[in-house]
Amino acid sequence: MTWQDQIGFPLLSTLTFVPLFGVLLILLFGRGRPVVYRVISLASMLVVFVLALVMMLTFDTAASGLQFVEDVTWISSLNIHYGFGIDGISALLIFLTAVLGVIVVLASWRYAKQREMGFFIALLLLQVGMVGVFCATDLVLFYVFWEAMLVPMYFIIGIWGGPRRIYAAIKFFLFTLVGSLLMLVAIIVSVYYVRDASGVLTFNIQELGAQVYPYHLQFWAFLAFFLAFAIKVPMFPVHTWLPDAHVEAPMAGSVILAGVLLKMGGYGMLRFCLPFYPDAAITFAPYVIVLSIIAIVYGALVSLVQKDLKKLVAYSSVSHMGFVTAGIFASIAVAGNAIGMEGAILVMFNHGILTGALFLMVGFLYERTRTREIANMAMLATPMPVTAAFLLFFALGSLGLPGLNGFVGEFLSLLGLFRYSEWMTAVAALGVILAAAYLLWMFQRVMFNDRGVEHVAPAGPLADLQLREIVSLLPLLVLAVWAGIYPNTFLAYLHVPVRELMDQVMPALESSRDNGLASVLLAVREHL
């Protein structure tokens, strides 16, 4: 369904490049005028949010295929197109990106003390890359956006981060670059296999996903794509860049990193690993599920012993994202198990809301106490009751309290995993119990504990949240309640694309017993 049929103007291109127009305005009119480039940045993000809201309201949740399609030949000699189009999965993640874009600009209004104009330009450029990744329907265009978003995040961490910012930025960049190069090799191999087999050179994602690749190509190409996306998630054991990046990144960088960039790993698995290489995906599903369960429990246990508040939230992301990969691959390992995949996608959306909010809270607390050590932040509830209320709310959401959004996605993901293996589900459910332990214990020590701590008194009286900070948190609070009480608002966007994705993978599941390794793994799974 094209944009002319739905809305009358190229919505996705406008969504993607409005922040770039904001960058040009800042360069023209913002030099030496902090208020101007702050206002331009906020206005650009607000326009993106309004357009994303229009996209959500006009999106046809019952229609199959892509919507708001734009397609123009870009490099004719290689048949590379400027192609945009979205399904319900993309729409949900674009909406999340638009919401967080407004919030990080508002929350960081006076955060950067040096090179402030560059900070806001980096945020706007990062927004362009993130939205572009979710919109692109051409592999080359996807790869361009995928690489482009790394650069502003590298500078956000490396220039405006903490004391070890250079180390964290380089580690983040190298990990992601290694995965990206492997993905590039897999793209070239897949594209030229299709050219040799059909005589047509194409980089269109839908056309390439409809091809049938030989098993040996699927095996290695799946590994290359999967490693790139596993690093981004990040999955155990390629997660080690994440704590360093989160701890050293400024508040806005941590929010975007946890809220959007991690979701690109799960999105890539859904968009490429499963439809392109379904036989290989079935083969590796048991391994991925085991690694996911390890990540759930490991991330929660490491969070439980953290002394640094930001590191605690960072490791909790490793645990929560384990539910995403477990739900996705449990769904393709059992026929008709779409509920796990829908739950995994909803976990991505809800994790962006809740963990983004928790990183905002960590940033607001650090601005007041000048420490992230939990032991040095005791008894803050008395001078900061509003802060305590918001922190408790988002902690309860993150630990999966029924009625808030954290519960719904993880419950559906576990339900899908249960259809695959009961005992694995029991182990994964430990992550929910441990989340309650580390989050409630953290809240008690930060807000109420007055004994057995190395409390360091702040230089002056502690101020509660300001109006601007409360306004930046309220949209996340509303979404957390809304998605918790009436999740079908967001699940409605997922039914059709998940069903289409399952239809692509199911033939591979039915024939998987013909593959030697796959049949052995399926037999082991059935025995367990």
- What does the pLDDT read at residue 524? 44
Whether the model pTM is above 0.85:
yes
Contact predicate 102/118, CB 8 Å: no
Query: What percent of the chain is modeled with pLDDT above 90?
Result: 58
pLDDT digits (tens, 9 = 90+) for 20-58: 999 999 998 877 778 888 999 999 999 999 999 999 999
Tokens matching residue 80:
């590379």
Mean pLDDT of 475-499: 93
- What does the pLDDT read at residue 452? 46
Asked if pLDDT for residue 516 goes beyond 60, the answer is no
- What does the pLDDT read at residue 2? 66
How many CB atoms neighbour CB 124 within 10 A?
26
CA distances from 102 to 23, 34, 252, 299, 468 (A): 15, 17, 11, 29, 12
The backbone region for 251, taken as left when phi is positive above 0, alpha when psi lies in -120 to 50, beta otherwise, is alpha
Asked if pLDDT for residue 345 goes beyond 50, the answer is yes
Higher pLDDT, 57 or 518: 57
Of 90, 91, 82, nearest in space to 140 by CA: 82
pLDDT digits (tens, 9 = 90+) for 153-184: 999 999 988 888 899 899 988 898 899 999 99
Which positions ≥6 away from 301 have C-beta within 8 Å?
A: 434
Peptide bond into 34 cis (omega under 30): no
Tokens matching residue 125:
């450029």
Tokens matching residue 56:
């959500």
Determine the 3-state secondary structure of 354 from DSSP. helix
- What does the pLDDT read at residue 268? 93
Asked if pLDDT for residue 493 goes beyond 90, the answer is yes
- What does the pLDDT read at residue 123? 93
Instruction: Report the C-alpha gap between 3 and 9 in whole angstroms.
Output: 6
Asked if pLDDT for residue 455 goes beyond 80, the answer is no
- What does the pLDDT read at residue 100? 95
Instruction: Report the C-alpha gap between 441 and 309 in whole angstroms.
Output: 12
Asked if pLDDT for residue 384 goes beyond 80, the answer is yes
Average pLDDT, rounded, for the chain: 88
Q: What is the DSSP letter of 374?
A: G
- What does the pLDDT read at residue 471? 93
Contact predicate 416/343, CB 8 Å: yes
Determine the 3-state secondary structure of 265 from DSSP. helix
Mean pLDDT of 360-376: 88
Amino acid in position 439: L
Instruction: Report the C-alpha gap between 295 and 319 in whole angstroms.
Output: 5
Of 161, 103, 48, 154, nearest in space to 353 by CA: 103
Determine the 3-state secondary structure of 112 from DSSP. coil
Q: How confident is the model at residue 233 (pLDDT cuts 50, 70, 90)?
A: confident
Asked if pLDDT for residue 504 goes beyond 70, the answer is yes
- What does the pLDDT read at residue 50? 95
Q: How confident is the model at residue 198 (pLDDT cuts 50, 70, 90)?
A: confident
Q: For residue 189, count CB atoms less than 10 angstroms from its CB and return exposed for 0-12, middle for 13-18, buried for 19 or more.
A: middle
Higher pLDDT, 243 or 439: 439
- What does the pLDDT read at residue 454? 52
